[in-house]
Structure 1
Amino acid sequence: MFYNNALDSQELMQRIANDLIDSYDEELELEIEDREVDDIGAPTAADKLARQQYFKELFRLQGELVKLQDWVQHSREKVVILFEGRDAAGKGGVIKRITQRLNPRVARVAALPAPNDRERTQWYFQRYVAHLPAAGEIVLFDRSWYNRAGVERVMGFCSDDEYEEFFRTVPEFEKMLVRSGIRLVKYWFSITDEEQHLRFLGRIHDPLKQWKLSPMDLESRVRWEAYTKAKETMLERTHIPEAPWWVVQAVDKKKARLNCIAHLLAQMPYQEVPHPAVVLPDRVRNPEYLRQPVPASMYVPEVY
């Protein structure tokens, strides 16, 4: 354990508490619609200023993501973004911020569960192909076909032959995607051993996030070094010019989100698509129309 010598229990609990506060900030972000964030409180003036700057930059980048979405629709582009990394590395957080303001019919998330018995007999990439975008769509994979290079390898869910076949196939598979017109971007979210340990402790102490801790997550702590070796092999053997890997330093979750979104935008030659001015038409009022009353029993009780 990291904190037996370096930190006493009080200091450890304070760090866990700080991490929980940060996680609640994440949920607050998802509710804030007002671009004016000057009234958001924080423990210190410096913290308040940092949060204000973060929110403002996040909203600015999300405005650019809306422009990217319009460009993808208008130009009928096809975009695939892969998010990989250790458990609790922050992949889900950045995916939420990317899709938060976008049309779910244009930008959708693919988070596939473990393959079922039938899928295990298919060509390995088959179930992922079904989620690839059509023209005018963006697909964000919350974990992807690289499961075979990571969790399946470390946990023994694939054979050595299947593992090697994956590495023989995946470069050609991704080259095919790119040649077909798909823009493919691959991100690896990098956190330290200590940071993952702290985030797992935070989840244990947060009843709203305990569901995120699976037996597989806990086992990943035991096999940290095996996952490190698997990651190094994966990056070495699948970092190709047509689809390079990009590593996001993710110990600071807020900075990681902003850096990832800014980098993603820089990978796309998008332009603002002009739209005609929107004019709200007058409502047509028919004197013969009578609105029928709704029975009181159908209303949701106003508890709040």
Structure 2
Amino acid sequence: MANNKMHGIDKAVLDWLDEELQDTFDEDYELELSESELSLELKKIYNKQHLSPLDRKVYFKSLLALQAELIKMMTWAEHTGEKIVVIFEGRDSAGKGGVIKRITQRLNPRTCRVVALNKPTRNEKSQWYFQRYVQHLPSAGELVLFDRSWYNRSGVEQVMGFATPEQVEEFFQDVTEFERMIVRSGVRLIKYWFSITDEEQHLRFLMRIHDPLKQWKLSPMDLQARVRWEAYTKAKEDTLKRTNTPEAPWYIVEGNDKKRARLNCIRHLLDQIPYKEVPYEPITLPDRVRNPEYERAVLPPELYVPKKY
């Protein structure tokens, strides 16, 4: 066998595949970049709080394996017409957005949607409370991830005084039956609560303040969340106690270690879905039709993006 051949595969092809794999790893690494202007002192404090970080290679290999399973799961869901809703709740900076990014990163955006609703409009405030969420529930073959959900009412709306005690109580009276209706309609409903300690949230907020790439994540509401930590704790405990049902149980994700939290949550999500490998016909790339009389037009240079890098 020639030196430039390996098991029947041209070395140039292997080099290209290796480069593609490295690009895949880099794609994940880009999501991890979060310390562009982070002060060294904050880094030291944060590292002391996380003495046993998950090895980067172990993390990325585990993540890619789980993402491959997510693709299998969604292929099965599309094939069977399964409808899946996953709710992500928890304190600000608890890691909800991070795990949602890793779930959706390699899935088809046509069948996997993220719902992150803004505060209700005046018109929506006049509607049935659950009405604006119902329109985002999945059709057959879809996965919908709620980055915060109808539990805003028992969380931020209650704590910040945007809902009256009567409205909060009415929510608790209605929400369990509302979720039973969703489940009875054939939707798989999975609810995650991301939990972090007071100290961990404090550090993450400081990191956001000192990182220009993350300052957009801080809002006046987030800062109030720090002030009202105990009120949010009470609201969380009440919510979990009153809305944890056999049809729609809560699952708590310990989020102090971001990487482990992501892997644990995705693995648990996969375990909740009885997906199977869907058989499909092997895909073969057809030959391109070539017309010997065709000449490619020369486009003017001003149409091209300048090559700055």
Same fold (TM over 0.5): yes
- SS in structure 2 opposite 1:113? coil
Identity %: 67
TM-score by length of 2: 0.84
- SS in structure 2 opposite 1:83? strand
Match of residue 295, structure 2, among 280, 284, 290: 290
Say whether residues 1:202 and 2:207 are aligned partners.
yes
Equivalent residue for 2:121?
116
Hey, what's the Cα distance between the residues in 2 that align with 1:228 and 1:145?
18
Equivalent residue for 1:37?
none
Deviation at 1:50, TM superposition (A): 1.4
- SS in structure 1 opposite 2:55? helix
**1:132-171 alignment, distance < 5 Å:** 132-171=137-176
Hey, what's the Cα distance between the residues in 2 that align with 1:178 and 1:193?
34
Question: CA 1:169 to 1:220, structure 2 compared with 1: closer, same or farther past 3 Å?
Answer: same
Aligned residues: 270
Hey, what's the Cα distance between the residues in 2 that align with 1:13 and 1:93?
19
- SS in structure 2 opposite 1:53? helix
Equivalent residue for 2:254?
249
- SS in structure 2 opposite 1:103? coil
Match of residue 56, structure 1, among 57, 61, 76: 61
Match of residue 97, structure 2, among 89, 92, 96: 92
Equivalent residue for 2:12?
none
Equivalent residue for 2:306?
301
User: Structure 2: any 5+ residue segments left out of the alignment?
Assistant: 1-38
User: Structure 1: any 5+ residue segments left out of the alignment?
Assistant: 1-8, 23-45
Deviation at 1:287, TM superposition (A): 2.2
Deviation at 1:15, TM superposition (A): 2.3
Hey, what's the Cα distance between the residues in 2 that align with 1:278 and 1:52?
31
Q: CA deviation digits over 1:32-74, x for unaligned, max 9?
A: xxxxxxxxxxxxxx96x81111111111111100000101000
Equivalent residue for 2:27?
none
Q: CA deviation digits over 1:114-157, x for unaligned, max 9?
A: 10111111100000011100000000000000000100000000
Q: CA deviation digits over 1:203-257, x for unaligned, max 9?
A: 0010110010000000000000000000000000000000000000000000000
Deviation at 1:293, TM superposition (A): 1.3
